[in-house]
Structure 1
Amino acid sequence: MKSDAQSPESYVDSLPDDRKVAISKLRKIILKNLKPGFSEMMNYGMIGYVVPHKLYPSGYHCDPKLPLPFLNIASQKNFIALYHMGIYADEKLMEWFVTEYKKLGLPKLDMGKSCIRFKKPDQIPYELIGSLCNKMSAKEWITLYEKKIKKG
């Protein structure tokens, strides 16, 4: 569900109470653990964490006017989603996350290429997500993006 919110704060304010609590907690853990160089903004109708043009002037290859996306969080119809481009591009990071998730004894991981879906807000592994956010710097993401994703 794409939001028309103009800021992360207004996005959170528009959510039902149970989702508001979970998204607020995700924002807090992400902002605490992301390495310097990323900026929080509304991106694709979700709360996004991007490499701004001042650090990566080329922007996103799909639309160079947009900053380079790295991570998004969203309240979708039936779940809360975390979209992490680093997991999509780095097989070792994906393996690490899946292995660590299994250790938590939570329900089966519901995951696509870069999307991790949480149907129950009380089953979001906040600390693990914090650790995931701390695994890659903006510079490392740019290098990986250029190597594995960017075309041309």
Structure 2
Amino acid sequence: MSTPEEYVAGLDQPRRTELGELHDLIRRTVPALEPTMEFGMPGYGRFHYRYASGREGDTVLISMASRKNYISVYVTALAPDGGYLPESYQDRLPKADIGKSCIRFKRLSDVDQAVLAEIFLAAAEQGGAGAA
């Protein structure tokens, strides 16, 4: 798979439809974030990061993946308070399991897509965590 569209097309239903809708939501919400494939997943908004420790590399601002039991959305951006952006939306996505930079849910209908769009916009504004 070399494009997000090929990734989505290769999924079984109902994941194909759900990740297709998620891909469309990301593209509509933050069209300036160029789609790519990174780490075997569709990614959006490639950037270079460099941490104070000296560690550096390339990653994407937003990515998504179909996992066995859930859909994952990864957002590698910090909130204005310095925490990870997805964590600051935990109360607005009650059916999602939220880690530092990951939002997991069983079905797209389990989450408010307007809140996801708000997260994507905030991530695009903030830029990637450790962006160089």
The answer, yes or no, to whether TM exceeds 0.5 is yes
| Rounded Cα–Cα distance in structure 1 between residues aligned with 2:100 and 2:13 | 29
Cα contact 2:61–2:76 (8 A) shared by 1? yes
| Rounded Cα–Cα distance in structure 2 between residues aligned with 1:83 and 1:134 | 14
1:95 positional shift: 5.4
Q: Which residue of 1 aligns with 2:43?
A: 48
Q: Which residue of 1 aligns with 2:127?
A: 141
Change over 3 Å in CA distance of 1:77–1:91 after alignment to 2: same
TM-score (norm 1): 0.69
Unpaired stretches in structure 2, ≥5 consecutive residues: none
For the pair shown, the structure with the greater C-alpha radius of gyration is 1
Q: Which residue of 2 aligns with 1:81?
A: 72
What does the per-residue CA deviation read over 1:5-60, in whole Å, with 9 as the maximum and x for residues that have no partner?
11111101100110011101111111111163x211111100001235xxxxxx34
| Rounded Cα–Cα distance in structure 1 between residues aligned with 2:123 and 2:8 | 26
Structure with the largest fraction of strand: 2
Residues 78-117 of structure 1 mapped to structure 2, 5 A cutoff: 78-87=69-78, 90-91=82-83, 93-94=85-86, 96-102=88-94, 107=95, 109-117=96-104
| Rounded Cα–Cα distance in structure 2 between residues aligned with 1:98 and 1:121 | 16
Aligned length: 127
| Helix, strand or coil at the partner of 1:17 | coil
| Rounded Cα–Cα distance in structure 2 between residues aligned with 1:124 and 1:13 | 22
Q: Which residue of 2 aligns with 1:123?
A: 110
| Rounded Cα–Cα distance in structure 2 between residues aligned with 1:30 and 1:87 | 18
Q: Which residue of 2 aligns with 1:70?
A: 61
Unpaired stretches in structure 1, ≥5 consecutive residues: 53-58
Structure with the largest fraction of helix: 1
Q: Which residue of 1 aligns with 2:20?
A: 24
Displacement over 3 Å in runs of 4+: 60-64, 87-90, 92-96
TM-score (norm 2): 0.78
> Structure 1 vs Structure 2: percent identity of aligned residues?
24
